[in-house]
Structure 1
């Protein structure tokens, strides 16, 4: 079972969906490192409105992500993917044609209306065998990280030659390319399973919001993306004021991104090998706190660059770690709902961070923004300190064939006695048992043999 590989359909799904994710996030992220400067050229622009333009997509993204998932259950994944990317492209064109900051805000809000993230993840789960789904999800996550790195380099370069309007039109072209891929390359989920583990279920949202560990992580992703949006509402302007031409900003971002990715490696290794997930997690938050406090005193390009490296060192680790921690803490039958709530809070953080930073900068100056973010980091550190130690467990799904509801309790009891099994929920109507297991102790063969006996 450990040697299973992706089949042709799964490979096509993984590569196509990862490419779509990359194109979409590239379009969103390219604006972030340049808009604080270029947005000043629009009529009626103020720091607060510039911040709102940076974060506007987060509100519509947060509001529409779960509805898009439900609609894709009813009308099909590819239909909603095409519709979402069309909305994203239309919003990009509106922003590209804008002659005032208000129209840019409207365009950005329309961009966020193409909330296809949940649909992409749902389609991936439709066409991928459960035991290989983690590999596909990891590839999708990696595509977001790659798009983030490319965007912070490409954005400043492209805006120098094309202007901000041209950058929005490039985003529309990227969205059109994604639509082409959806129609002609993405496989159709003909055997749609809609397993409850992967779906966002409204009736279970309350359970997620009452789960203390999940709430701590949801607060964390909200804080993290608030800090990201707030930082890039003011930092590009600070770099210009420090004497760095806007066309040269990519020369700073490129080495910082590379070094931050390299520095993250030991964090990941130590956390995994020594089961020190919580201490390393808190250390990464401390890095954010140090970066924000240092930003209040930073002077010159070198000082700002050093602070930004420390910030991204912590940010990249936390961005990569939080989703896996959600999966570890989430009860087995509503991991999809937990991730849906998590993503909603992520985009709300973007929406709050941009306008808040813009207003603070406009009213009290740049240092007030980073003082505020230092307070946010300290608050997050206190929240994380009360977090339980994450267990080294993963989700695992087995097919059990047709069973009667009266057998469910006995099957769950039997599975819990097997090595490495932490939790079990059997859903008779889906003919599936959802397990949470310790990979080091879990006896794959014994569970597989038991499942075959039930089928």
Structure 2
């Protein structure tokens, strides 16, 4: 639970602090890379850590992951440029890949199938605690101390987690000869990285049909094909595709991918809307995200019970409906609305995530045996992380290009560009803008973010459609 808390509070605090970070370090065009770099390494390493935990046990692998995460957190807090921060986030993400999947897998190991649904929901309550503390604490640190402590807060939490692991977790490991899929990891990293670059820089630095974009697109496809072909040959692959032959696992993984895009869309860009368009303080922006993280654990605990009563599929459908309702609110959001309206949408998205993710994890862990449980759990989280990684890049690219198009269409001067948005997001510097420039930037930001929210709605609709294809009777849960 402490490991989960560390990862959960990281998600809410950083999103709250980002407008302050980008206003100090500059380079608004690199905004989405701060999230994408972390998510990329998280997504790629989650499968490796899942496999390693099946080979060497949960405790040593989780400990190594936490140590790397803490080193990355220290470097993030020391950053003086956006480039430095992005590199430090790569390091942090490299360690973070171990935290959530292995913490969830440990629960799968130490509890019975009947207890698992209830305990997974209970474990998710950690998100509620971090949700209340994270944005409020993040807002306070940004306003009264420094955004750097947002990252350094992880260090005492990580040390406590490691001490707790070695005092209380005792496991019997079935020794096997390790076969670690390094080639698969490299191929997957290259394919996702180049695809992210296309999404972020396409239409901004390079035209969509330019030679660099076309060559990178071809390279992405080649790496992905090579990854699939290579994985099918291995006895101990990083991505065990035979797991996907189970229909419930296939749908759960695909839906986790689409919900990952929804999750990052709101976590990354809602604080920007609240601070830049609504002109609210960082702590208020944080509180609009808090409701999502409150709705998540409440729904997760309910999901743990409803899975055993109304079934896995019905629980997931209710979650899909909640995701749709929440995304509709963000389409209707405007600068004149109260932050409470945004908070309501966040809460509904959180409820949808809580109902679906708990149901998926419990079903997957009940379907596979112990020696595949780590990688099966990691595969589902990998799909959600890849969704978030691609989503951060895709939505960041859309935000940048739509904002530039808006400013161009309104005949804005050359002084007003993406970097001007950093001034808008900084409360202390906002007064330096003329009334005309501020209005133009706010309208442009609102226009661009509405396009982002429409994409979020599209993925919520796709998630709901995918959920309808879940089998009516789950093998694992009956």
Same-fold call, TM > 0.5? yes
Give the 5 Å matches for 1:305-384: 305-328=340-363, 331-333=367-369, 335-364=373-402, 365-384=448-467
Give the 5 Å matches for 1:51-130: 51-114=32-95, 115-117=97-99, 118-124=101-107
Secondary structure at the aligned position of 2:15 is classed as: coil
- Mean CA deviation greater in 252-261 or 207-216: 252-261
**Offset of residue 52 of structure 1:** 1.9
CA pair 437-134 structure 1, distance change in 2 beyond 3 A: closer
Secondary structure at the aligned position of 1:31 is classed as: helix
**Offset of residue 342 of structure 1:** 0.3
Residues 291 and 346 in structure 2, CA contact (< 8 A), matched pair in contact too: no
Residues 89 and 111 in structure 1, CA contact (< 8 A), matched pair in contact too: yes
* Residue-by-residue CA offset, 1:49-94 (whole Å, 9 max, x unaligned): 2112123222212211232234345555433232211100110111
Residues 257 and 383 in structure 2, CA contact (< 8 A), matched pair in contact too: yes
CA pair 51-202 structure 1, distance change in 2 beyond 3 A: same
Partner of 1:151: 134
Partner of 1:31: 14
Partner of 1:275: 310
Aligned residue among 148, 155, 158 for 1:175: 158
Say if 2:284 is the partner of 1:284. no
**Alpha-carbon distance in structure 1 between the residues aligned to 2:398 and 2:391:** 11
**Alpha-carbon distance in structure 2 between the residues aligned to 1:136 and 1:260:** 15
**Offset of residue 125 of structure 1:** 5.3
Secondary structure at the aligned position of 2:86 is classed as: helix
Say if 2:329 is the partner of 1:294. yes
Residues 32 and 232 in structure 1, CA contact (< 8 A), matched pair in contact too: yes
**Offset of residue 96 of structure 1:** 0.9
- Mean CA deviation greater in 212-221 or 21-30: 21-30
**Offset of residue 375 of structure 1:** 1.4
* Residue-by-residue CA offset, 1:223-269 (whole Å, 9 max, x unaligned): 2221121123221121122131223334545567657876x499759
Please, which runs of 5 or more residues in structure 1 have no aligned partner? Answer: 1-17, 392-421, 423-435, 439-455
**Alpha-carbon distance in structure 2 between the residues aligned to 1:155 and 1:347:** 23
Residues 267 and 280 in structure 1, CA contact (< 8 A), matched pair in contact too: no
Bigger proportion of residues as strand: 1
**Alpha-carbon distance in structure 1 between the residues aligned to 2:88 and 2:174:** 36
**Offset of residue 135 of structure 1:** 5.5
CA pair 349-301 structure 1, distance change in 2 beyond 3 A: farther
**Offset of residue 290 of structure 1:** 3.6
Residues 295 and 304 in structure 1, CA contact (< 8 A), matched pair in contact too: no
**Alpha-carbon distance in structure 2 between the residues aligned to 1:121 and 1:265:** 13
Secondary structure at the aligned position of 2:240 is classed as: helix
Residues 6 and 158 in structure 2, CA contact (< 8 A), matched pair in contact too: yes
Partner of 2:281: 245
Q: Which one has a bigger Cα radius of gyration?
A: 1
Greater relative contact order, per chain length (Cα 8 Å cut-off, separation 6+): 2
CA pair 27-172 structure 1, distance change in 2 beyond 3 A: farther
**Alpha-carbon distance in structure 2 between the residues aligned to 1:224 and 1:230:** 10
* Residue-by-residue CA offset, 1:181-208 (whole Å, 9 max, x unaligned): 334x33332x33589xxxx963881112
The alignment covers a number of residue pairs equal to 369
Residues 201 and 337 in structure 1, CA contact (< 8 A), matched pair in contact too: no
**Offset of residue 31 of structure 1:** 0.8
**Alpha-carbon distance in structure 1 between the residues aligned to 2:242 and 2:131:** 32
Partner of 1:427: none
Residues 73 and 155 in structure 2, CA contact (< 8 A), matched pair in contact too: yes
Residues 251 and 467 in structure 2, CA contact (< 8 A), matched pair in contact too: yes
* Residue-by-residue CA offset, 1:277-306 (whole Å, 9 max, x unaligned): 545533433333343343233223645532
**Alpha-carbon distance in structure 2 between the residues aligned to 1:54 and 1:174:** 21
**Alpha-carbon distance in structure 2 between the residues aligned to 1:261 and 1:79:** 28
RMSD: 3.5
- Mean CA deviation greater in 168-177 or 88-97: 168-177
Please, which runs of 5 or more residues in structure 2 have no aligned partner? Answer: 177-234, 403-447
CA pair 27-375 structure 1, distance change in 2 beyond 3 A: closer
